[in-house]
Amino acid sequence: MDSSAMSLKSSEDIPLADDDLEVIINDDDSSKYMQNGRSLDSIASSYTNGNSSPRHFLESEGPDADEQEERARLITQVLELQNTLDDLSQRVDSVKEENLKLRSENQVLGQYIENLMSASSVFQSTNQAQASSAPKKK
């Protein structure tokens, strides 16, 4: 047998996921040991700490104290970031409102100044002089 035929034969010996005989979904107690349609026996041993027993995996302790501490720290950090984001959002809304108010006041003041200038004789004479010196549009 040459090496190409041997590698082909060895690749045919590798079981496919569909060939897993332990993937039988029942409504009995054995289904609680299944995860995502696979038995816990088919999960990599590094995930199950080297033990392929489903009962041992399910009965083993949860995350250790360091992992729980890290998770609590991350949750606290996420909550702080959410609060900061909420505060920033409220600040943006208040700045938008103030901006609209100031624009409106500026518009009113601009109109008031324009009215004063048109009513004042000092500005009327310069406005009339500018108007008479400027070429008329047809």
Q: Which residues pair with 35 in a beta bridge?
A: 38
What does the block give as tokens for 57? 């995996």
Helices and strands (H, E) in the chain, number of each type: 4, 2
The candidate with the shortest Cα–Cα distance to 25, out of 16, 34, 17, 12, is 34
**What global pTM score does this model have?**
0.39
For residue 3, pLDDT over 70 is answered with: no
CB 40 within 8 Å of CB 48: yes
pLDDT above 90 (res 21): no
The encoded tokens of residue 61 equal: 């302790």
Inter-residue contact 43 to 54 (CB < 8 Å): no
What percentage of the chain reaches a pLDDT higher than 70? 43
Amino acid at site 7? S
| Mean pLDDT computed over every residue of the chain | 71
Dump pLDDT digits (tens) for 39-66.
Answer: 555 555 545 555 555 555 444 555 688 9
pLDDT of res. 132: 63
pLDDT digits (tens, 9 = 90+) for 78-88: 999 999 999 99
pLDDT tens track for 106-117: 999 999 999 988
Please count the CA atoms within 13 angstroms of the CA of 22 that sit on its side-chain side.
14
Is residue 121 within a helix (H) or strand (E), and if so which, with residue range? helix 121-133
